[in-house]
Every structure is written in structure tokens, then in C-alpha cells.
Amino acid sequence: MFCPRSLSGTKQLPVLGFSVLLVIVSALPSFAADRVRVAFSAVSPTQGVLWVADVGGLLTKNGISAEIVYTRAAIETLVAGEVDFGQMTGSLMSSARLQGADPVMIAGVQDILEDRLMARPNIKSMEDLRGKRIGVFRFGSASHLRLIYVLPRYGLSNRDVTLLQVGDTPERLIALAGGSIDAALISPPDHLEAQRAGMKILLNLRDLNIAYQGSGLVTTQRVLLRKRDVARRFLKSYVEAIHLVKTNPEISKKAFAKYRQTKDEKRIDDAYQALRETVRPKPYPSIEGFKTIIEDASERIPAAKTANPKDFMDVSLLEELDKSGFIDALYR
């Protein structure tokens, strides 16, 4: 099992083997295929639909040659036109939309908060977080925005804690085990790694039953206007990948092994099952999930006060596939 190098003076925690550096994986090109660039923003299981579309050969089958890029700047590269599609959370793309950019979600994977707030053993309650250090991916990321949304429910704000930009899941797990942070939001099933290292679940966000648009497939209105047929075929591949997630564990687990860079069968299966239980055959983005995000942003971004959640998504292509009977036929 691969163990990322820890910061000086911290204890190493065995975690899922995936790189924290930029990773580029290109799908095999096919004759006359349309070339696209796609970014994904994290290595959590809810990002797995894109991975299955790649490893399952669905993009190639639908005439798309995709360069798939893992980057911490998924929304920035999408807005800049450096990539055509991005797989990211609703909170990440909403901030850009509220500030005048044109990203829209065309398919949603996760529509409820499911993270676990993991803490060191000496943290007994949410109140104990006051004055403590909480690790996030980066400021503006899902782990940051979700945290500042949840804290006020327990009489806390971001001013009552010290937020540290630590990095993606592997880095947060290492920092938590090593004591350089006191708590961090971790998505399932990766929170089990923290538990095995002696950390505790301080809060299971799923118990709060909060509608919140998590990971999804995002593009821009520019792409939908100029490359609509490409977007249609990409979304078709995405929907077919969801079908594989639901029905073909072998291909799905192969994709997880490749993109999470691990051969540990238990960790692969845990991650695969997490996605399988979350994603829906018809991946419509959640209006209520975006409503939560926008209401939370209204205190920081004035444009959020009058924003319409429907403007943050474009389901026209998904509706085409749905009304044609294509999605239902996959499951017959």
C-alpha cells in the first residue's frame, strides 16, 4: 500500500494510494473522435463516474477522445476555457457563477451532505473545536464551504476556529493523525482510515439530512452553445457510466484502482460501494441542493440574495436522453 510522505514531525497514516500532484490520463483516441479536456477536482468516490466512463471505454465509443486532468483548480480551468468539462461540487462552481462566470451543472451525482467531521480523541464535542485547528482542502473548496455552513448550527463560526489549507484527503488524513490539525471533514469511506488511526467521528453530516448539491458534471454555457453535440455525447457516456457503476462491479473497481492508485481490494470495494449507493440512474442536479448553497453564500456574495437555483444547472440534454427512453432502456 502506498503511503504519501508526511510533513516533518507528523505521523504517517496509511491512506489510499493516489497522487496529490497533477495527473493526466488520456483516453485512447478513436478515428475522427472529438477531442475534449476534462478536469476532476478530488479523489473522493463521488468523482468515480468520470473514471468509469474512461476505463469502461464509453467516451471512446461515443466518439470522444478525452484528456482527463486532476487539478486543484478545476473551476478556474473550466471558466478560463482550458477544459471543456469539469467534475466538481455545486458549491465550487456556484461561487464562480455568482461572480459572473457561466458554469452550469448538467448532471448531479450527490445531493445530500454525507461527510464525517473527524477529530482527534481529545475533542469530545463541537464546542471543544473552539480555538482548534481544522484542515480543509483549500479556501473556497467543498470541504471549506461545507464546514462554514455547518459550524453556525453549533454556535460556532469560522472566526472561532483556525482553518488551515492542508490539501486533499490524503494530506488531511496525515495531518490529522500527526496532530498538526485537530479536525477535518472527510468523505466516506475515507473517514474509515481516520477511525483506524484512532480518530473519532465528531459529527456525521448525513444525520442532518441537508439537501446540498455535491459532485456533478459541469460545463459552461459557451460549450453548450458551441459544442452542443459533443456535450450531448459526453453526457450520454456519463449516464452509461452510471449504469456500469450500478451493474458492473468489475469495470467500476478497475476504474477506482486506476484513479485512486491502489491495489487494496477492501479500500477499492469500500469506495465503489459508496458511489454505487449514492448515484442515481437519472442524475438530475438538485434544485433544493443548490438553494442551500446559494442561501449560505448570500452572507458573503451579494448576488446570491437574488439568485435562482435553476440558473446554476442546465438539464436540457439530460431531459433529451430521459424523454427518449434511453436511460430506462439501459436498465431493462
Domain boundaries, the chain: 23-111+213-330, 116-208
Residue whose grid cell is 461515443: 62
Residue 222's φ and ψ, nearest 5 degrees, are: -60, -45
Residue 81 DSSP symbol: T
| Chain segment 168-199, per-residue pLDDT in tens | 888 999 999 999 999 999 988 999 999 999 99
Residue 270's φ and ψ, nearest 5 degrees, are: -60, -45
Q: Cβ contacts of residue 7 below 8 Å, gap of 6+?
A: 174, 175, 178, 180
Note whether 23-111+213-330 and 116-208 share their fold. yes
| Residue 221 pLDDT level (bands cut at 50, 70, 90) | very high
pLDDT of residue 72: 85
Strand spans (E) along the chain: 23-26, 34-40, 64-70, 85-89, 103-108, 116-119, 133-136, 162-165, 183-186, 200-204, 215-220
More confident call, 145 vs 306? 306
CATH 3.40.50.300 correct for 23-111+213-330: no
pLDDT of residue 25: 45
Are 58 and 9 in contact by the 8 Å Cβ rule? The answer is no
| Residue 148 pLDDT level (bands cut at 50, 70, 90) | confident
| Chain segment 258-279, per-residue pLDDT in tens | 999 999 999 999 999 999 999 9
More confident call, 19 vs 319? 319
Q: Cβ contacts of residue 31 below 8 Å, gap of 6+?
A: none
H-helix or E-strand containing 267? Answer: helix 265-278
CB count in 10 Å sphere of residue 35: 13
Are 279 and 49 in contact by the 8 Å Cβ rule? The answer is yes
Q: Is the pLDDT of residue 225 over 90?
A: yes
Percent of the chain at pLDDT exceeding 90 = 79
Q: Is the pLDDT of residue 24 over 50?
A: no
Are 59 and 234 in contact by the 8 Å Cβ rule? The answer is yes
Angle at 269 between CA 91 and CA 274, to 5 degrees: 30
Are 168 and 137 in contact by the 8 Å Cβ rule? The answer is yes
Strands 64-70 and 162-165: unpaired
Percent of the chain at pLDDT exceeding 70 = 91
More confident call, 41 vs 311? 311
| Chain segment 62-87, per-residue pLDDT in tens | 999 999 999 989 999 999 999 999 99
pLDDT of residue 27: 44
pLDDT of residue 290: 97
End-to-end alpha carbon distance in the chain: 39
State mean pLDDT over 20-33: 49
Measure Cα distances from 111 to 172, 206, 240 in Å: 24, 11, 20
Alpha-helix runs per DSSP H in 117-248: 142-150, 169-178, 191-196, 221-226, 228-247
Question: Under CATH, which architecture does the 116-208 domain have?
Answer: 3-Layer(aba) Sandwich (3.40)
Q: Is the pLDDT of residue 14 over 90?
A: no
Instruction: Quote the radius of gyration of the chain (alpha carbons, Å).
Output: 19
pLDDT of residue 31: 56
Angle at 59 between CA 55 and CA 62, to 5 degrees: 140
Mean pLDDT of the chain: 89
pTM to 2 decimals?
Answer: 0.84
